[in-house]
Chain A
Amino acid sequence: QQQVKQSPQSLIVQKGGISIINCAYENTAFDYFPWYQQFPGKGPALLIAIRPDVSEKKEGRFTISFNKSAKQFSLHIMDSQPGDSATYFCAASTAGGYQKVTFGIGTKLQVIP
């Protein structure tokens, strides 16, 4: 059972464009929603995260939008750069206690010059 559904699985964006990745979750016990960035041969690295008490969080060119009623959240990468080319995972967990994180399937982003 895929508890965090992510789309698209691959995405090609031109340099300077906006990359948008969408996720939906099923378990209403989730209350922490991180995004991870993974480069080939490396482990995932925490990029940005949001809790359900806010609808949007922005850090630099990266923004998470969160819709609690729809159980959906998305990552927007503004002014996408070739260096952003990586695989992005949305994820969900419960903030209290240890981090048994449920990951989405991943989106392979390619930013072309």
Chain B
Amino acid sequence: DTGVSQNPRHKITKRGQNVTFRCDPISEHNRLYWYRQTLGQGPEFLTYFQNEAQLEKSRLLSDRFSAERPKGSFSTLEIQRTEQGDSAMYLCASSLETTNEKLFFGSGTQLSVL
């Protein structure tokens, strides 16, 4: 499978716990994005990486959220001290710089905070 891979697919956690999600983009894609989708809504932009550099963070990404892409390949999104409002689908997408507009999304990680 050469698509965008996200793990885990589902995560249930208790309020106050930390969680980490992983995204493996399509191998040659140098651009990587995180989006968040709540029930009945469209995805919302969270952050963007060009190779290993994080170039933009949405104001939706509070201080409890941190994302990394250490070697310009896979990326992780960590949420510290989770809150019930963090419950959502976290989507990763990637693209090639040369075919910029064509985003390829993974199947997402569904987070439930109890």
Residues of chain A touching chain B, judged by Cβ–Cβ distance below 8 Å, are 4, 6, 32, 34, 41-46, 49, 89, 91, 93, 95-106
Contact flag A104-B42 (CB < 8 Å), given A98-B31, A98-B55: yes
Q: Closest B residue to A95 by CB, please name it.
A: B101
Chain A residues contacting B103 (CB-CB under 8 Å) are: 46, 99, 101
Name 26 A/B residue pairs within 8 A (Cβ), A-sorted: A6-B42, A34-B101, A41-B107, A43-B4, A43-B91, A43-B93, A44-B43, A46-B104, A89-B43, A95-B100, A97-B100, A98-B31, A98-B50, A98-B55, A98-B100, A99-B93, A99-B95, A99-B100, A99-B101, A99-B103, A100-B45, A101-B45, A102-B45, A103-B44, A105-B40, A105-B41
Contact B101 A93 (CB under 8 A): yes
Q: Is B74 located at the chain interface by the 8 A CB criterion?
A: no
Chain B residues contacting A99 (CB-CB under 8 Å) are: 31, 33, 48, 93, 95, 100-101, 103
Q: Looking at chain B, what size class is its interface with the partner chain? A: 20 to 34
Contact A100 B101 (CB under 8 A): no
Residues of chain B touching chain A, judged by Cβ–Cβ distance below 8 Å, are 4, 31, 33, 35, 40-45, 48, 50, 55-56, 91, 93, 95, 100-108
A113 to B33, CA, bound (A): 38
Contact B107 A43 (CB under 8 A): yes
A113 to B41, CA, bound (A): 27
Chain B residues contacting A49 (CB-CB under 8 Å) are: 101
State the Cβ distance, A43 to closest chain B Cβ, in Å: 3
Contact flag A98-B105 (CB < 8 Å), given A105-B40, A106-B41: no
A31 to B90, CA, bound (A): 26
